[in-house]
Chains A and B, each alone.
Chain A
Amino acid sequence: MTPRRVSRRDFVKESGGLIIGFSLVNSAILPRLLAADGSTSVATPSPARLDSWLRLGKDGTIRVFTGKPEIGMGVETAFKQIVAEELNVMPNQVEITMGDTALTMDQGGVGGSTSIMMGAKPLRNAAANARYLLAQLAANRLGVSADQLEVKNGIVSVQGDPTKNVSYADLVGGTDLNDALKVTGEGFSLNVEGPGKPKDPSQYTIVGHSIPRVDIAPKVMGRWQYVVDVRVPGMVHARVIRPSGVGATLVRVDDAAAKQIPGYQQTVVKGNFVGVVAANEWAAVQAAKAVKVTWTAPKQIFPDQNDLYKQMRATAPKASKETLKHGDADAAIASAAKKIEARYEFPFQSHATMGPGCAVADVHLDGVTTVWSGGQKPHDLQKGFAELLRVDRDKVRVIWVEDAGSYGRPGFEDAAADAVILSQAIGKPVRVQWMRHDMHAWGPKGPAVLCDMSAGVSASGEVTGVKFTSIAFSGGEILFRPDAAGNYLGGQLTGIPNTTGVDEFAQWGSNAPPYSFPNILAMAHVVPAFYDVSSPLRTTHLRDPEGPATSFAVECFMDELAVAAALDPIEFRIQHIEEKRAHAVLRAAAEKAGWDSRPSPKKGAAGGDVVSGRGVALGTRNGTYVGTIAEVEVNRKTGVVRVTRFVCVHDCGLIINPEAIRTTVAANLIQSMSRTLHEEVTFDRNNVTSVDWRSYPISRAFDIPEQVNIVLIDHPEIPPTGAGEPSSRPTPAAIANAVFDATGVRIRRGPLTPGRVKAALLKQQT
């Protein structure tokens, strides 16, 4: 089949500036879109034109194009509200095309809880400019000046004379207007501006109100399509076979047994990359087991897991950074009447996505390529796959299709690279589905982080200085922007050197300097990876990168200082932070929870095996404030910690859709509770050994608190910050502080598993 590709023009049968009709098919799912002009360029459109962002259909539909995909937290719905608000239409008149590199701008993809904070800005401005231009057109049509017009539900009418009106749809095909926009920034900060200005938030009637998420009903009704559902004519199925351990290299492949399996086609070998291709999935699954692969002995590169933190402390950092300095913390601590020290440790954790990673790639001989992937950053994938294929970026089209919730860079990107490598090798469209162990064992990991805390306290109980020192694996050894061939697992296995990682620190004081002390010092160190090529312990972004781990240290240590000062932990925090929004979330949480103001631990606890307590933690992140209170029960006999109630107060500035934020915050609380109580990647000297849901347990139905109370504070006057991950941040400390309150025992290593808690309680008794 001759490779033919869509050009942007084919989507738009009538051109002419902004006011154009469109006949968009469901581009995300349709496997092959045929270009009438034979063009093979699938170049990303220019952000400098309004019609790159927004188009108006003859049926009144507004089609918006954005490089920000949905990852399960409701941004598609929020985008509809934001655009509908500016255009004075109903949200259901707005349709969104997301994350297709041939149709949407490069907005850096999803990351850092910035989709509303930053990614919605150009959409809001584009919509405001569309309204401005439509008003001009309508003014011409109706013979009045634009400032005499008003718009309701897409009908433009003359103020005071609603009989004189014209609909947006009737303006389609109107005069060609200058729709150039001024572009600033790039990636996350890409923005556009024009003469049309967005509304003042005080005028909002759609933004700020709960509307049902557009995806929930079709998902529950079974009418949603995920990337696993993409089917391309001629597509074959593949599974991958990974090395027997870290550092093992391929010796030989014997597929004699696989040849007996009906549907088996071939095994693709490229360096240490091995993939098995078959006509159907079941044959691919069986063949991947039947192919005999011989590897060299793995190199025993990982340490004994029991020595992980000891080894991290003993390793010379490859990079160090001072992230916060005020006064002379070392001197203040050295001369203090009392010195408090504590070491906190948080393990490698897995994204462990619900779907293990799936993609379809169709690579043609001339390099023209289409890839369907649920990766959060389609435009970065386009760049990386072009490098992988050694073709021009404009030949590669990446079409984002929703996958399971990704929460960072889970390996969907690597699965897509596998599909690209395999499709290039065999010249057919290939669908790769990872097996569960491929995700759990070989997906990138959230880095292990340890934080050493120390403080000086005066004779009168005043904190004179605080020092924070983190030692962590890089949060960016595998790039959070997956735009380089040497950064994919498959790329590395085929022999492309990994030269792409960055040193990302576990910091205190960068995006959230919450507390003020007379002397303060925060240092962050990054230690080198155990092995820098295709390692199952390669590290990257996992929801709120390094946030829960560093907050675990800082917010538990704040409790330790409150204990030293014999103060209530909320009062102690408020004494040491000036920001009023931080006070507000803490005070509101205390009120909602019926907080019993007193120092920890709880005195005079009743006898019996099960004791209860409450803990608090503050989370601040890029302008979002979260106050979380956890109430727990600890079974002293079994060591089981159970959260019985969460209270979470959340302030992210202007709220777009309260109900969507509420469900996302609730999910943050449960997921971060799971990370606090259960989650730890395990490994032996050669391999990750947590490979499924039994060896990497997460929270289940019986773990869920009886009460989860979420309070949202709305600040329409403050531009929206982010709600995707900040409420994951304070949870580990809130729970650990509650365990201390209940038991008087401070547990400084996560997760708080029954074994660890029980051991700590036994130690207390001896």
Chain B
Amino acid sequence: MNRASLKVNGQTHEVDADPQCPLLYVLRDNLAMNNPRFGCGLGQCGACTVLMDGRAVRSCTLPLARAAGKEIVTLEGLSTGDKAHPVQAAFIEEQTFQCGYCLNGWVLTTKALLDQNTHPSDSEIRTALQSLICRCGSHVGILSAVRRAAESIKGSV
């Protein structure tokens, strides 16, 4: 085991874990941060998505060693207290999901997209989301939520 310093949602944590251990297990098992969820362990679905220095990454295949020293944001770190981030507000407004197990990927990838591009075209939205899986088929609401979030962010800047 090695001690590593991990900055999650603005707080620094000292964790004692194998540097090769995927970030997902460190977040869940060492820090009890439940939102990134195990979906495939292969980086194929996005249920484990977190933001690392503003980019959406798959924590199930990202070794702890590569996350140390970076700014990690998980779903619970997106809101300010009880105030939903505009992306979260849009997904709630659209009543987007069925089971919601996959939603870390959709919400955080949308956040990363809109941080880079406040006026994404339909094709740019789909490109950004193409590598994510939702087994329930909630995509219609997801695409509406992304457009709503873009409108809302556009309106506020």
Asked if A689 is at the interface (CB within 8 A of a chain B CB), the reply is no
Return A126 CB to nearest CB of chain B, in Å: 27
Compute how far the CA of A664 lies from the CA of B127 in the bound complex, rounded to whole angstroms.
Answer: 25
Q: Are A668 and B107 in contact (CB under 8 A)?
A: no
| Most chain A CB atoms below 10 A, which of B18, B38, B41 | B38
Q: Are B40 and A436 in contact (CB under 8 A)?
A: yes
Tell which of A219, A660, A698 touches B135, judged by Cβ atoms closer than 8 Å.
Answer: A698
Q: Are A221 and B37 in contact (CB under 8 A)?
A: no
Q: Are B18 and A699 in contact (CB under 8 A)?
A: no
What's the A-B contact tally at a CB cutoff of 8 Å? 175
Determine the chain B residues whose CB is within 8 A of the CB of A531 once the complex forms: none
Asked if B56 is at the interface (CB within 8 A of a chain A CB), the reply is no
Determine the chain A residues whose CB is within 8 A of the CB of B37 once the complex forms: 226, 228, 355
Per-residue interface assignment for chain A, residues 209 to 244, with 1 indicating a CB less than 8 Å from any chain B CB and 0 otherwise: 000110111011111111011010000000000000
Asked if B68 is at the interface (CB within 8 A of a chain A CB), the reply is no
Asked if B140 is at the interface (CB within 8 A of a chain A CB), the reply is yes
Asked if A674 is at the interface (CB within 8 A of a chain B CB), the reply is yes
Determine the chain B residues whose CB is within 8 A of the CB of A213 once the complex forms: 95
Determine the chain B residues whose CB is within 8 A of the CB of A713 once the complex forms: none
Q: Are B133 and A693 in contact (CB under 8 A)?
A: yes
Tell which of B17, B35, B97, B131 touches A216, judged by Cβ atoms closer than 8 Å.
Answer: B97
CB contact under 8 A between A354 and B1, given known A229-B34, A663-B138, A692-B40: no
Q: Are B140 and A226 in contact (CB under 8 A)?
A: no
CB contact under 8 A between A354 and B47, given known A222-B79, A282-B21, A402-B99: yes
Return A30 CB to nearest CB of chain B, in Å: 15
Q: Are B137 and A669 in contact (CB under 8 A)?
A: yes
Compute how far the CA of A670 lies from the CA of B136 in the bound complex, rounded to whole angstroms.
Answer: 8
Q: Which residue on B lies nearest to A666, using beta carbons?
A: B140
CB contact under 8 A between A354 and B39, given known A222-B75, A671-B135: yes
Tell which of A220, A403, A436 touches B84, judged by Cβ atoms closer than 8 Å.
Answer: A220
Tell which of B35, B38, B44 touches A355, judged by Cβ atoms closer than 8 Å.
Answer: B38
Tell which of A223, A667, A672 touches B98, judged by Cβ atoms closer than 8 Å.
Answer: A667
Determine the chain B residues whose CB is within 8 A of the CB of A226 once the complex forms: 34, 37, 101
Asked if A262 is at the interface (CB within 8 A of a chain B CB), the reply is yes
Size range of the chain B interface in the assembly: 35 or more
Determine the chain B residues whose CB is within 8 A of the CB of A486 once the complex forms: none
CB contact under 8 A between A403 and B100, given known A225-B34, A693-B40: no
Determine the chain B residues whose CB is within 8 A of the CB of A73 once the complex forms: 98
Q: Are B95 and A405 in contact (CB under 8 A)?
A: no
A109-117, A417-425, A700-708 - interface stretch: A700-708
Q: Are A216 and B130 in contact (CB under 8 A)?
A: no
CB contact under 8 A between A700 and B97, given known A436-B42, A666-B140: no
Return B71 CB to nearest CB of chain A, in Å: 17
Q: Which residue on B lies nearest to A670, using beta carbons?
A: B137
Compute how far the CA of A676 lies from the CA of B76 in the bound complex, rounded to whole angstroms.
Answer: 36
Determine the chain A residues whose CB is within 8 A of the CB of B133 once the complex forms: 354, 693, 698, 700
Q: Are A670 and B28 in contact (CB under 8 A)?
A: no
| Most chain A CB atoms below 10 A, which of B88, B97, B143 | B97
Q: Which residue on B lies nearest to A280, using beta carbons?
A: B29
Per-residue interface assignment for chain A, residues 579 to 593, with 1 indicating a CB less than 8 Å from any chain B CB and 0 otherwise: 000000000000000
Q: Which residue on B lies nearest to A72, using beta carbons?
A: B99
Q: Are B98 and A352 in contact (CB under 8 A)?
A: no
Q: Which residue on A lies nearest to B101, using beta carbons?
A: A404
Determine the chain B residues whose CB is within 8 A of the CB of A229 once the complex forms: 34
Tell which of A220, A353, A436 touches B92, judged by Cβ atoms closer than 8 Å.
Answer: A220
Asked if A694 is at the interface (CB within 8 A of a chain B CB), the reply is yes
Determine the chain A residues whose CB is within 8 A of the CB of B17 once the complex forms: 282
Tell which of B25, B74, B130, B143 touches A280, judged by Cβ atoms closer than 8 Å.
Answer: B25
Determine the chain B residues whose CB is within 8 A of the CB of A272 once the complex forms: none
Tell which of B95, B135, B140 touches A704, judged by Cβ atoms closer than 8 Å.
Answer: B140
Asked if B66 is at the interface (CB within 8 A of a chain A CB), the reply is no
Asked if A435 is at the interface (CB within 8 A of a chain B CB), the reply is yes
CB contact under 8 A between A436 and B143, given known A220-B91, A220-B97, A354-B47: no
Compute how far the CA of A693 lies from the CA of B105 in the bound complex, rounded to whole angstroms.
Answer: 15
Determine the chain A residues whose CB is within 8 A of the CB of B125 once the complex forms: 701
- B59-88 residues with Cβ-Cβ distance < 8 A to A are 74-76, 78-79, 84, 88
Determine the chain B residues whose CB is within 8 A of the CB of A714 once the complex forms: none
Q: Are A352 and B100 in contact (CB under 8 A)?
A: no
Tell which of A215, A228, A353, A702 touches B100, judged by Cβ atoms closer than 8 Å.
Answer: A215
Tell which of A222, A281, A670 touches B138, judged by Cβ atoms closer than 8 Å.
Answer: A670
Asked if B96 is at the interface (CB within 8 A of a chain A CB), the reply is yes
Tell which of A216, A660, A667 touches B136, judged by Cβ atoms closer than 8 Å.
Answer: A667
Asked if A137 is at the interface (CB within 8 A of a chain B CB), the reply is no
Q: Are B130 and A405 in contact (CB under 8 A)?
A: no
CB contact under 8 A between A693 and B45, given known A228-B37, A280-B25, A701-B129: yes
13 examples of A-B residue contacts, CB within 8 angstroms: A73-B98, A220-B100, A282-B25, A354-B135, A358-B38, A405-B101, A663-B96, A666-B140, A667-B140, A672-B137, A692-B42, A700-B130, A701-B132
Q: A355-B37, A663-B138 are in contact. List 9 more A-B contacts (CB 8 A).
A: A216-B97, A217-B84, A220-B88, A403-B101, A405-B98, A436-B44, A668-B137, A703-B139, A704-B126
Shortest Cβ-Cβ A-B pairs, 10 listed: A670-B137, A72-B99, A671-B137, A404-B101, A405-B99, A222-B76, A219-B100, A222-B75, A72-B98, A436-B40
